[in-house]
Structure 1
Amino acid sequence: MRRRIVRIATPTYTLGSVVLVMDEDRTRLLMLRQPPGRRWSLPAGLLNRREQPVEGGRRELAEETGIEADLAELVPADPCAVVHTSGRWVDNVFRLVRDPATTEITVDGHEVWDAAWHPVDDLPEMTRATAKLLAHYGLGPLAAGDPATEPPAAA
């Protein structure tokens, strides 16, 4: 009975992995358009049970873009985790360097409608969650220093 009460009272967290795929100079960012909306997001997804964050990031990247990466190529971003929605959702964030000119991207048209490289200083309209996440890395409309937008919320 005590174990059941603890399980009910203990907060739960949703864990995911996100991959920031950028060129060597960090001037272009790979973004995805996924159903149901028209706004852009990043290669990302929820972790499977007992899956390591870096493995989940690699899996989601391959599923959504067709890009295969070695685990060693996925470097933890700084910060390496971003907490969303009052601490109930945590994204593990990784960086991957790829050349937009030579990287072949494949989307299935169901889970991902479109994938494209965008200049980091002219990113397309994106989901609110993506904008909040990118702000932690000084990117996107909510990044500190952009006078046209509000400052990013504290993590």
Structure 2
Amino acid sequence: MNLRHSTALRAVAYGTFYRLPLVLRRRIVRAVVPKYVVGSVVFVHDSEAPAPGRLLLLRQPPGVSWTLPAGLLQRREAPIDGALRELHEETGLKLSRADLVPATPNAIVHAKGWVDMCYHAFVPASTAPVRADGAEVLELRWFALDDLPKLSPATGRLLGMFGIGPAAAPGAVPAIPARG
């Protein structure tokens, strides 16, 4: 098949597709396009800690490794609102939209089919009202960025993408915005 013939077939296919009712086009797209699960993750930094800084991590069942506050978005929930909801549910911290700084990059697309929308928050550890509920979260603790505990594989990879932890590229500078 030559290029001209291939282009003509694609033009016919697209022309036919765009003549279909919108509802039917959406169903076709949902059936054909890969599905992604979207969640929000919050890097909670201790605003009082000297360099290199400290991060709030949590241990969830089964309790063998540490993770970041995170969770899946609810239907039609904005990523920043999902981040705030999950942060409150998992740590007890009640922050506002203005308290979250979008990470750079803000969206991390993982090969296994999920997307993490990432945010930074800066809170004073000495007065932050954090709490573990004992069910979803077994323990919360602040850790120095240069002395992190055993991380879940997904958390280790995610932190590494931001230049933090053992999975960071050698010599990488952590991608942390200026403290709020």
TM range (shorter): 0.7 to 0.9
Higher mean alpha-carbon deviation, 117-126 vs 102-111, is at: 102-111
Deviation string 1:13-36 (CA, Å, 9 cap, x unpaired) is 100000000023561000000012
State percent identity of aligned pairs. Answer: 50
In the aligned structure 2, how far is the partner of 1:141 from the partner of 1:30? 17
Aligned to 1:153: none
Q: Does 2:57 align with 1:31?
A: yes
Query: Which structure: larger Rg?
Result: 2
Q: How many residues align?
A: 145
Structure 1: stretches of 5+ with no match in the other structure: 147-155
- Scaled by the length of structure 1, the TM-score of the pair is 0.87
Provide the C-alpha distance between the structure 2 equivalents of 1:42 and 1:6, rounded to a whole number of angstroms: 33
Match of residue 72 from structure 1: 98
Alignment of 1:26-105 (within 5 A): 27-86=53-112, 88-105=113-130
Question: Which residue number corresponds to residue 134 of structure 1?
Answer: 159
Q: Report the AA paired with residue 65 of structure 1.
A: T
What is the letter of the counterpart of residue 131 of structure 1?
G
| TM-score, length-scaled by structure 2 | 0.76
- Relative to its length, the structure with more helix (as a share) is 2
Letter in 2 for 1:39: S
RMSD: 1.6
Q: Distance in 1 between matches of 2:60 and 2:111?
A: 21
